[in-house]
């Protein structure tokens, strides 16, 4: 039998490795930023074009590489981090496998310029698809500058799977956040298509969080600090009242590396037990420092999933630390067993018995008798008797009450149709458990879910407003200014036209927006909530569900602004909701494909009494 096992060529092996290391442009950004950190850089610049598809460039002022090192860095399993298997259990750097640059060079055009501190000239290398096109001496600043162009140029199938530039840019920004947050002492600059997104100076951890996520997060942060023989915990958690429906602001860093740990996440959530509403998630930025030998970071190609030796102990320490911080800073309610000295009995009265108050009543006092009273000025006056006071009410008869009207609860709807209503043709409705609106039809009755029905009504109205672009906007007497992160601002700029079609009037700045007008169906107090709901839905990538931008915006707004279960409705509002629902193009289903109403025929009701 002929031999069938063959050794793969290097360029094929590199492309296979690239499938694990490089999944999208954000993967390249992660690897290059981590290499710059490992090189000891104090200033790092990230430049991106077209969501990373056209260009990803990272410039640092680190130690640089010699001519030989620059060439070897693109070989598979070439690394300066480890020399034996034992080194895998004492890792303090980011990259260590030596596959990143080789994998990136296999699927892109790579341009590297690097120089060490003690050399006057550096090295310039160009590689295309694992092939070294040129290597020459070049004049370049100290440090390294690596450019990755035309990602997946030789694998069209992989390139077709990439999302839009906006989606890929959000993934890159997420990776940038993970690296920038855990290294606050390093200055970062981040550019997209020539515009500056972030300019982060060297600072402390709290300042870095504020500069990344906006000034409004500063008041939400609660410090966390604990050091034991097993682990050192530091960082911040968000106050319970600022918990969000999305899990965007949740970061674990182990030994200076971003990690994902559902087990430790559960420990933090357990510490918030009893303080959070349903379906909301707390934010946290926690640094964990453990012995490198007690953590295995080599269980996943992206090195974001790790394994701790004693997870149960870490769980208990983390949970108690977070809970202690919530109580220490008066965020969580605590029992106070200290005695208030102001409530103690004074020393002079400790030996005295309590004296019961005495009540003296003058049994001979008659308020209708004539009594002489001495005034403050000393003169006396007489109080005349009021005999015959009963005659004041003598003329009252039963006819006097004929015109009196008694108050009644006008908001209580009539449950059954009255003859008068039927005669005048007025529609009769009533509300059931503040959740359903019940009305009659010729064949029986209809039970409508008020929340779902209102969602359908608003959804079709918003879609029409976006399409026709004739929505009514109510001007605000005093404009409202809201703070957002750079990432959120970029999302708002992307959907600004659709917001304008709905009646929003916005002016967008670098990290703030000014709202001068809102849709007529919206209240001023709900602006912040609605905009954050929109940002959450659009940040998660609505294209995956197959909806257009207009449809997704209408879905989000109708869910935020619709009548909620438990809300009491006046009878006029009930009738209007019924009429608006059956005036819709698709009244049977809500925008989220749930039934809006059911019908009960007279025959079905009759069978209940058989």
pLDDT category, 389, cuts 50, 70, 90? low
Query: Once rounded to an integer, what is the mean pLDDT over residues 134-139?
Result: 92
Confirm if 267 and 321 have CB atoms less than 8 A apart.
Answer: no
pLDDT value of position 172:
93
Identify the weakest region by mean pLDDT among 307-321, 349-363, 378-392, 559-573.
378-392
Distance, first Cα to last Cα, the chain: 83
pLDDT digits (tens, 9 = 90+) for 251-284: 999 988 898 888 899 999 999 988 888 888 899 9
pLDDT digits (tens, 9 = 90+) for 214-247: 888 888 899 999 999 989 999 999 998 888 877 7
Report the chain's C-alpha Rg in angstroms: 37
Q: Which residue is it, tokens 């193009």?
A: 585
pLDDT value of position 366:
78
Say how far apart CA 122 and CA 141 lie, in whole Å: 8
Query: Once rounded to an integer, what is the mean pLDDT over residues 304-333?
Result: 83
Strand residue runs (E) in 367-472: 371-374, 380-383, 429-432, 436-441, 444-449
- Note the residue count of the chain: 610
Query: Once rounded to an integer, what is the mean pLDDT over residues 301-322?
Result: 83
Query: Once rounded to an integer, what is the mean pLDDT over residues 378-399?
Result: 55
pLDDT digits (tens, 9 = 90+) for 516-573: 888 877 888 778 888 888 887 776 655 545 677 778 888 888 888 888 888 888 888 8
Identify the weakest region by mean pLDDT among 59-68, 379-388, 459-468.
379-388
Q: Is the pLDDT confidence value at 383 over 70?
A: no
Query: Once rounded to an integer, what is the mean pLDDT over residues 423-450?
Result: 81
Sign of torsion, CA 14 17 22 23? positive
Q: Which residue has the higher pLDDT, 38 or 415?
A: 38
Q: For the chain, what is the total number of helices (H) and then of strands (E)?
A: 17, 24
CA angle at 124 for the pair 121 and 128, rounded to the nearest 5°: 175
Q: Which residue has the higher pLDDT, 11 or 308?
A: 308
Strand residue runs (E) in 9-167: 43-49, 55-60, 109-115, 122-128, 131-138, 143-149
Q: In this prediction, what percent of the chain has a pLDDT beyond 90?
A: 28
Q: In this prediction, what percent of the chain has a pLDDT beyond 70?
A: 78
Taken in order of first residue, the domains within the chain and their CATH numbers are: 10-202 (3.30.565.10), 206-328 (3.30.230.10), 429-599 (3.30.1370.100)
* β-strand pairing of 295-296 with 371-374: unpaired
The two tokens of residue 404 are 């009196």
Diameter of the chain by CA atoms? 139
pLDDT digits (tens, 9 = 90+) for 145-158: 999 999 988 888 88
pLDDT digits (tens, 9 = 90+) for 358-373: 888 888 877 777 655 5
**Over the chain, what is the mean pLDDT?**
80
pLDDT category, 341, cuts 50, 70, 90? low
Q: Which residue has the higher pLDDT, 172 or 500?
A: 172
């Amino acid at each position: 039998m002929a031999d069938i096992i063959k050794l793969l060529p290097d360029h094929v092996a590199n492309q296979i490795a690239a499938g694990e290391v490089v999944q999208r442009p954000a993967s390249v950004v992660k690897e290059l930023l981590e290499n710059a950190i490992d090189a000891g850089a104090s200033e790092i610049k990230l430049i991106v074009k077209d969501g990373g598809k056209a260009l990803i460039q990272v410039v640092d002022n680190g130690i640089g590489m010699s001519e030989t090192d620059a060439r070897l860095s693109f070989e598979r399993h070439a690394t300066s981090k480890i020399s034996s298997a034992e080194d895998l259990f004492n890792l303090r750097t980011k990259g260590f496998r030596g596959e990143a640059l080789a994998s990136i060079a296999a699927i892109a055009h790579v341009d590297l310029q690097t120089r060490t501190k003690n050399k006057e000239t550096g090295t310039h290398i160009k590689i295309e698809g694992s092939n070294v096109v040129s290597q020459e001496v070049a004049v370049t600043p100290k440090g390294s500058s690596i450019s990755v162009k035309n990602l997946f140029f030789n694998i069209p199938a992989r390139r077709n799977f990439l999302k839009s530039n906006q989606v890929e840019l959000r993934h890159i920004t997420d990776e940038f956040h993970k690296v920038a947050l855990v290294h606050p002492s390093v200055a970062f600059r981040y550019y997209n298509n020539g515009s500056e997104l972030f300019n982060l100076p060297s600072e402390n951890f709290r300042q870095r969080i504020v500069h990344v996520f906006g000034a409004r997060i500063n008041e939400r942060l609660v410090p966390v600090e604990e050091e034991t023989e097993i682990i050192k915990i530091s960082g911040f958690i968000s106050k319970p009242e600022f918990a969000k429906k999305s899990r965007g602001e949740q970061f674990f860093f182990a030994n200076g590396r971003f990690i994902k740990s559902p087990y430790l996440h559960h420990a933090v959530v357990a510490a918030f037990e009893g303080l959070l509403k349903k379906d909301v998630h707390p934010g946290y930025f926690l640094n964990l420092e453990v012995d490198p030998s007690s953590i295995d970071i080599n269980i996943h190609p992206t090195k974001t999933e790790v394994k701790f030796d004693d997870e149960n102990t870490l769980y208990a320490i983390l949970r108690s630390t977070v809970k202690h911080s919530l109580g220490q800073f008066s965020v969580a309610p605590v029992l106070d067993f200290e005695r208030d000295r102001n409530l103690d009995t004074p020393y002079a009265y400790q030996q005295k018995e309590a004296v019961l108050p005495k009540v003296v009543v003058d049994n001979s006092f008659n308020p209708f008798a004539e009594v002489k009273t001495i005034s403050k000025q000393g003169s006396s006056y007489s109080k005349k008797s009021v005999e015959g006071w009963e005659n004041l009410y003598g003329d009252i008869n039963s006819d006097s009450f004929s015109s009196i009207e008694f108050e009644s609860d006008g908001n209580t709807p009539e449950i059954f149709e009255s003859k008068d209503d039927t005669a005048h043709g007025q529609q009769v409705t009533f509300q059931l458990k503040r959740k359903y609106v019940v009305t009659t039809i010729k064949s029986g009755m209809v039970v409508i879910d008020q929340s779902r029905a209102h969602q359908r009504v608003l959804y079709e109205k918003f879609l029409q407003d976006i399409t026709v672009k004739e929505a009514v906007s109510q001007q605000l007497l005093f404009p409202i200014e809201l703070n957002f992160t750079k990432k959120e601002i970029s999302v708002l700029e992307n959907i600004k036209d659709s917001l304008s079609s709905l009646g929003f009037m916005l002016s967008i700045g670098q990290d703030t927006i000014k709202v001068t007008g809102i849709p007529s169906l919206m209240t001023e107090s709900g602006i912040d909530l609605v905009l954050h709901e929109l940002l959450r839905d659009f940040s998660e990538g609505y294209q995956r569900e197959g909806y257009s931008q207009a449809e997704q915006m209408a879905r989000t707004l109708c869910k935020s602004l619709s009548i909620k279960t438990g809300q009491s409705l006046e009878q006029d509002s009930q009738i209007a909701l019924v009429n608006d629902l059956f005036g819709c193009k698709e009244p049977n289903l809500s925008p989220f494909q749930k039934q809006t109403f059911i019908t009960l025929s007279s025959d079905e009701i009759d069978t209940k009494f058989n």
